[in-house]
Amino acid sequence: MEEGSDSSIQVLRESSADKENVSSYEPPNKKIKVSDVHADGKHKLEDRLSDILCCAVCLDLPKTCYQCSNGHLMCAGCFNHLLADARIKDETATCPNCRCEINRNVCIRNLAVEKAVSELPSDCAFCNQKLPRYQLDYHQRELCQERPCSCRYSRIGCHWEGPFHEIADHESNCAHPMKTGEEVMGALELIDTQQQEEQKLYNDIFSLLSFEKITFNDLQLKPFRTDDFITRLYYETTRFTAFNQQWVIRAKINSDHKNPTHTVNRSLSYQLVVKSKLTAPMMMHFLALSGPFGGIKMKSKIYNFEFTGELAETEYLDLPIDSAECNKLLASKTINFRLVMFLVTK
């Protein structure tokens, strides 16, 4: 789905060079839909509404819907994607239908469309039953007899997976509860390893919190462009003080991939740079958190680095966020986050 939406953005962009193409351009799946209806001779209200309420970019029905100042509709994912693309290319984001400027100030949510869409029927992904969209999540999660399930003995090594209506039958015949302790040890050890990794992260954070020297800063990354022939987007914070030294954070997209707009998976990485000249080495642990102003969905990852007079900057390190979250960040003007720093004292 993501892949498809990206390519349709490209297609719409290219065809926009020719104004006549824009009006006559019909994405392939839309064409099929229309001709299907004519072949049947029925033209259902819900199909006609779907054609009207769909996202102008991906043609899906939007759960969260934005509109341009002329009323063209975009789903939240495509809206963020268009703004992020424009930010990377240093262009003004425009509506794929009418080319008017789109941004967070002029585009508003359209709640009527969101509510209308939630009433339109959709097929359950597992049993093909038609249900209003607002019921779909609950049906697929809790009610559908065809929803995929795994055996309750998966923790002791049963790999059975199947539809919900077969699970009772399988579990009553499953061989795993009869296995000896010796036989299920392998499966248990695997679970232990995963839990130990999580436990280690928490232990690391707790032991860092006992350090003598801890500081945090709520920072704001702002977009800049390099002055190369082909300019590149990067982000930087203003200088901030920690442990009596001056620091900045720099961030870049997809580790400076040549054409970040051509990739579906976006990522951000950052580096911590000390701007003061250090006279003694500083061993530092640091951790980026969403902070009070960010609202980023981020996993916790602790990095450490020894800053010296010669080594003033870390490598570029992954910011542990997913691709959609990354588009959301790129679409907004600035990126807010909290950086916690722990100084190792010897």
Which residues lie near Zn ion (CB under 5 A)? 55, 57-58, 68, 70, 72, 75, 78, 95, 97-98, 124, 126-127, 129, 144, 151, 153, 158, 160, 174
In this structure, the dihedral spanned by the alpha carbons of residues 103, 105, 110 and 111, taken in order and rounded to 10 degrees, is 130
* Of residues 126 and 134, the one with the C-beta less far from Zn ion: 126
* Of residues 34 and 184, the one with the C-beta less far from Zn ion: 184
How is residue 280 annotated by DSSP?
S
Strands (E) located in 197-267 = 213-225, 233-236, 240-242, 245-253
Q: Rounded to the nearest whole angstrom, what is the least distance from the CB of residue 20 to Zn ion in the complex?
A: 17
Q: Rounded to the nearest whole angstrom, what is the least distance from the CB of residue 75 to Zn ion in the complex?
A: 3
* Of residues 84 and 158, the one with the C-beta less far from Zn ion: 158
Task: Please name the residue that has the structure tokens 């999660």.
Answer: 141
Q: Rounded to the nearest whole angstrom, what is the least distance from the CB of residue 232 to Zn ion in the complex?
A: 27
* Of residues 135 and 271, the one with the C-beta less far from Zn ion: 135
CB neighbours (10 Å) of residue 93? Answer: 21
* Of residues 160 and 337, the one with the C-beta less far from Zn ion: 160
Q: Rounded to the nearest whole angstrom, what is the least distance from the CB of residue 164 to Zn ion in the complex?
A: 9
Dist. CA 293–CA 334, nearest whole Å:
11
Check if the beta carbon of residue 157 is closer than 8 Å to that of residue 177.
no
Q: Rounded to the nearest whole angstrom, what is the least distance from the CB of residue 83 to Zn ion in the complex?
A: 13
Name 52's Cβ contacts closer than 8 Å, sequence gap at least 6: none
* Of residues 2 and 204, the one with the C-beta less far from Zn ion: 2
Name 157's Cβ contacts closer than 8 Å, sequence gap at least 6: 176, 179, 183, 184, 186, 187
Q: Rounded to the nearest whole angstrom, what is the least distance from the CB of residue 278 to Zn ion in the complex?
A: 49
Dist. CA 343–CA 280, nearest whole Å:
13
